[in-house]
Amino acid sequence: MVPEHPRLPGSASGSAPDTTTDDVLAAVGPRLRALRATSGRTLAQLAEATGISVSTLSRLESGQRRPALELLLPLARVHGVPLDELVGAPETGDPRIHLRPVTMHGQTILPLSRGGGGLQAFKHVIEADVPSGEPDPRVHEGYEWLYVLRGRLRLVLGEHDLVLPAGEAAEFDTRTPHWFGRVGPGAVEFLSLFGRQGERMHVRAAPPGRLGA
């Protein structure tokens, strides 16, 4: 991710070279290390929370591994910061969210907020041609709220295996093993709010009589 209006280094006479893409990426490692130090997490704890190996995290922080979106997105979520903050993008003062879709684990994920220290909002789309696959539950720190916009979403949560149609919501502690998948022939779209432990929406998982249906 680079500034919106980059200029070539040395394009202005007598001026210092502008920051290049390599410079921006080189600053990601120290920023990740500082965030981890601030949170008091060890590399092992961060690996457990993100699903990224300790060796990869160590190489990212030392600059030996080039940052990629599939690595930065879970790190941004665990640290509670927007992706722009991880790469040091300058503040623009513009309140609009510039959507930057990310594709991972068969989902297209659109960040709907800048994150910061509070709740982070995302829109998820799993297209109809994406195989449902076998559940692969993961765990990490935090609390999550889901609302299904279209289609049917399969939520495997601990010992529960639920199907949420459009209009239903769920919330859960993300330290419980969980997995999302598509059910049926069509695509599924859902919203998620993610926050650190304690930030909850306080909604039912389903209307009365619908649980386990």
Please write the tens of the pLDDT for every residue from 164-201.
999 999 999 988 999 989 998 899 999 998 876 544 44
The residue among 123 and 25 whose pLDDT is bigger is: 123
Residue 158: φ, ψ to 5° = 60, -120
Amino acid 6: pLDDT: 26
Share of the chain above pLDDT 90, in %: 24
Kindly give, in sequence order, each residue whose CB lies less than 8 Å from that of residue 182, ignoring residues fewer than 6 positions away.
Answer: 126, 128, 130, 132, 151, 152, 153, 154, 188
Please tell me which residue, 22 or 59, carries the higher pLDDT value: 59
Q: How far is CA 210 from the centre of its chain?
A: 29
Decide if 21-86 and 102-195 have a common fold.
no
What residue has token string 């709740």? 119
Determine the 3-state secondary structure of 150 from DSSP.
strand
pTM here is 0.52
Q: Where are the domains of the chain?
A: 21-86, 102-195
Over 80: is that where the pLDDT of 107 sits?
Answer: yes
- H/E stretch holding 124 reads strand 120-126
List alpha helices for the chain, DSSP H: 21-26, 28-39, 43-50, 54-62, 69-79, 83-86
**Would you state the pLDDT for residue 150?**
94
Query: For domain 21-86, which architecture applies?
Result: Orthogonal Bundle (1.10)
CA distance 188 to 1: 28
DSSP 7: -
Please report the pLDDT score of residue 207 as a whole number: 42
State in words which class domain 102-195 has.
mainly beta
Q: If you average pLDDT over each of 45-59, 91-105, 107-121, which comes out highest?
A: 45-59
Place of tokens 């539950």: 137
Percent of the chain topping pLDDT 70: 71
Residue 171 amino acid letter: E
Residue 160, beta-bridge partner list? 157
